[in-house]
Amino acid sequence: MKFIVNNGNIGTIEYRESFWTGKKELILNGTPLKKFGKQDFIYNINGEDKVAKINGNFLSGASVIINGEVIQIVPKIGPFEILILIFAFFLPLICSSIDAFVVVLPIAGGAIGGLVYAAICLAGITFIKKSKNTLSKFISFILTTIVSFIVGIIVGFIIVFIIASFM
């Protein structure tokens, strides 16, 4: 994930964070800063070394402290992100525990379903974080829920097929 913020006092701040590893990079006015510790980066102003500290991450919201000034780089998690976590994760799991629903459409539940739905929800949150307006966030939320159901049904059919092939 890459986020760019223009600050009047400091200039252009570019923040990069790997979705898979959590590795963070900070670039100030086109110059990559040297990492010093887990959240700290060193930069040089007029021959003097200073420390820039990153608080948070791209999921919870990230800010950087430079020269005592707190600059928000990634917005904090909002209601759409929380809604997608709850709705797109739990709705298919709830449907997988309803016997009448599973007879018509086998949908993955339990540990396999939870893992699949968690991965889909994280991908959905990533798209929502990149969206700027409310309509695109809402569309991402709806698509994530639909994809969650479709993948759950596909995984359910695969599980039924595997079990049936051993009988």
Q: Two tokens at 5?
A: 């913020």
Domain coverage including residue 31: 2-74
CATH number of the domain residue 45 falls in: 2.40.128
Q: Two tokens at 125?
A: 């949150």
97, 143: one domain: yes
Q: Which of 74, 101, 119 is the last residue of a domain?
A: 74
85, 152: one domain: yes
Q: What contacts 83, CB < 8 A, 6 or more positions away?
A: 141
48, 17: one domain: yes
66, 83: one domain: no
124, 158: one domain: yes
94, 116: one domain: yes
Q: Which of 31, 49, 74 is the last residue of a domain?
A: 74
The 10s digit of each residue's pLDDT in 90-134 is 877 777 777 777 766 677 767 777 788 888 888 887 777 777 787
User: CB–CB of 50/44 below 8 Å?
Assistant: yes
65, 83: one domain: no
Q: Which of 74, 95, 119 is the last residue of a domain?
A: 74
Q: What contacts 124, CB < 8 A, 6 or more positions away?
A: 84, 88, 140, 141, 143, 144, 147
98, 160: one domain: yes
Query: What is the tally of structural domains in the chain?
Result: 2
Residue 75: predicted pLDDT: 80
157, 83: one domain: yes
Residue 149: predicted pLDDT: 83
Q: Two tokens at 141?
A: 């939320």
Residue 105: predicted pLDDT: 67
Q: What contacts 115, CB < 8 A, 6 or more positions away?
A: none
Residue 167: predicted pLDDT: 78
**80-89, 136-145, 156-165: range with lowest mean pLDDT:** 80-89
Q: Model's pTM, two decimal places?
A: 0.62
